[in-house]
Amino acid sequence: MQTTQKHIVGLGQRVLLVLFVLTVSVGSASAAKHYDVLVQGALDVELQPLINALEGRKVVQLDAWTFWTGHIGKKNVVVSRTEVGPLNAAAATAIGIRYFHPRILINQGTAGGHNRALKLWDIVVGERTIDFSGVRQEHGDAGSGVRIERWGPMHNRLRIDGREPIAFENFPGDESLVKAALKIPYDRGHVVAGNIGSAFHYSRELDYIDWVRRVYKTDSEDMESAFSGGVATAMHVPFVAVRIISDTEWEHPVFERIAGDYCAAFVVQMIRALP
């Protein structure tokens, strides 16, 4: 019994130590410099033009996530490598907002096409981002198979400022940022406002892609935008996603890595043009 009590006391002390360290960390973060823009990409191929554009570049490593700080034109900018997927995107966004206090947040990079009107190199600016991994299924008996017609959307809920939970069918992009992106000159394809879908999927079955588009009204697919958008919404930071079509299963099923460079270069222009 005494051993157990000592173990509990020791555990309690360790918990208090962890809470103390976290408090100090948050305190340090809250004193950090405020930045004009936090811009994200999941992969190195989505970041190089942004990193190269940073003047006075410095690297900041925060646990598993890497950030670069500097200037693009007159703006203080943080470039964030979120890494791939919802877990990384949400964590990197929350850490980036808390530490760098950005005025706005841009998530950008490559995307697969869902809307068959879109072509390789077209850019989708997110009027909305939506998590299409949220699926609610009706009951199916054993042996009845997996039937997509029994599936329907299930939405994320956020308790904004600790109030009652609100269901978000999607996360709206900031109207002024959407308009700013649509004004940037681009000669590789079209720049359109749309609904950017996100899930921890690499969808390659055309029937499934068409089902997602029909049910969730998606124009493109990536693994991060909606999750960054959800965190930004909860933390009151104006947000927009900008995604380039790097592959389409119906026309160009090969992922084109160079698309990451094209999108990042577009976003560099956008940052320079922001007021």
Sign of CA dihedral 80, 85, 88, 92: positive
Beta carbons of 229 and 12 less than 8 angstroms apart: no
Residues paired with 110 in a beta bridge: 244
Average pLDDT, the chain: 90
Maximum distance among all Cα pairs of the chain, rounded to whole angstroms: 74
* pLDDT band at 148; cut points 50, 70, 90: confident
- What is the tens place of the pLDDT at every residue in 67-94? 999 999 999 999 999 999 999 999 999 9
* C-alpha span between 190 and 185 (Å, rounded): 10
Length, in residues, of the chain: 275
Beta carbons of 228 and 105 less than 8 angstroms apart: yes
- What is the tens place of the pLDDT at every residue in 24-74? 444 444 445 899 999 999 999 999 999 999 999 999 999 999 999 999 999
| Res 254: pLDDT | 97
* C-alpha span between 106 and 228 (Å, rounded): 9
| Res 9: pLDDT | 43
* C-alpha span between 216 and 193 (Å, rounded): 16
| Res 32: pLDDT | 53
Q: Please determine, for residue 5, whether its predicted confidence score (pLDDT) is greater than 90.
A: no
Nearest residue to 211 via CA among 169, 152, 146? 152
Residues 48, 52, 54, CA angle at the centre, nearest 5°? 125
* Residue range 112-116: mean pLDDT, rounded: 98
Residue 124, both tokens: 């989708």
